Amino acid sequence: MQLKNKFTLETRELYMWNYECFWCGKNHWDCIHHIHGRVSTSPYNACPINNFECHIGNGKLMTFEGKRKLSLKNKAYLNSVGYEPTKEDKVFLNKYKQYYA
């Protein structure tokens, strides 16, 4: 089955042992969401959330504060699992650095 989000298998596997929806904190995530839209497949642009309860129809996800919340949570998670950013990840992080300040 081809997924629509285009995240690599490596990126999807980073979240294999995570149980927390990065938006609400509940143990019910079921999709990986693009934090900043489909601009990058970097793991730093990915976050696990519940599709129906926390993603669809949630306009707060696209606000600066919503993106910042997810960006910070995701970066902390990736650090905790020992993920080392690639050259492309570093370009992404630099482009969106205002969300990590």
Q: pLDDT 10s per residue in the chain (101 long)?
A: 444 558 889 999 999 999 999 999 999 999 999 999 999 999 999 999 999 999 999 999 999 999 999 999 999 999 999 999 999 999 999 999 999 98
In a domain, 53, yes or no: yes
Task: Determine the structural domain holding residue 62 and report its residue range.
Answer: 9-99
Q: pTM for this structure? A: 0.90
Instruction: Give a yes or no: residue 1 inside a domain.
Output: no
49 within a domain of the structure (yes/no): yes
The count of other CB atoms within 10 Å of the CB of residue 78 is 20
The total number of structural domains in the chain stands at 1
